[in-house]
Structure 1
Amino acid sequence: MSVIKPKIDDLLDKTDNNRFLLASLASKRACDINSMLREQHSRVLAVQDIDDITIAMSGKDTISMAMEEIVDGNISFEHDKYEAALGHKAAEE
């Protein structure tokens, strides 16, 4: 699988060109989306027999949904907290 839309360069621009941060943000958001959709799982199964609730409800996989949210600016990170968590600088209070 490759990232075609949104473009990887656009995604990296949103994460200071940090591939690890991009992967972390996308995977965390994808897990959140999955959790939200799984709460709806029993309701959908009552209507139709579908195994993959995410694709059934959205037509997309959760990673694609998360990456679209990142490039749109709906998901971001706090640069100072991220740097402090890495130990690159002291956390500001």
Structure 2
Amino acid sequence: MSVVKPAIDDLLEKTDHNRFLLSSLASQRASDINNMLRGQHSRVLAVQDTDDLTVMLSGKDTISMAMEEIVDGTISYDHERYEAALGHIDPQEA
């Protein structure tokens, strides 16, 4: 039984077994979720800690939400564009 849900192996499959890419996707999406929640609730609540607000509203932290979106395919990346940005392939070929 895995301690991490979703399982790290499932997450790595979605990012070509690239841990750096996985952490980048998850952190960017978690930041987007925090910003979205802050914008939606700033008029109603005096937001002091967005993470507390997220957990209060959803029962989950934003990193968990982001990783669930990665594993179910809601969040993904463009493999060719990623490789071109790293300089591994010619951008004209992508």
TM-score by length of 2: 0.85
Tell me, yes or no, if the aligned pair for 1:41 and 1:53 is still in contact at 8 Å. no
Equivalent residue, structure 2, for 1:62 = 62
Q: Which amino acid aligns with 2:15?
A: T
Quickly say closer, same or farther: Cα 1:71–1:30, change in 2 above 3 A: same
Instruction: Could you tell me which runs of 5 or more consecutive residues in structure 2 were left unpaired when the two chains were aligned.
Output: none
Equivalent residue, structure 1, for 2:10 = 10
Q: Which amino acid aligns with 2:68?
A: E
Instruction: Percent identity, please.
Output: 73
Instruction: Could you tell me which runs of 5 or more consecutive residues in structure 1 were left unpaired when the two chains were aligned.
Output: none
Displaced runs of 4+ in structure 1, greater than 3 A?
none
In the alignment of these two chains, the number of paired residues is 90
Q: Separation in 1 of the partners of 2:44 and 2:9?
A: 36
Structure that is richer in helix per residue:
1
Q: Separation in 2 of the partners of 1:42 and 1:84?
A: 39
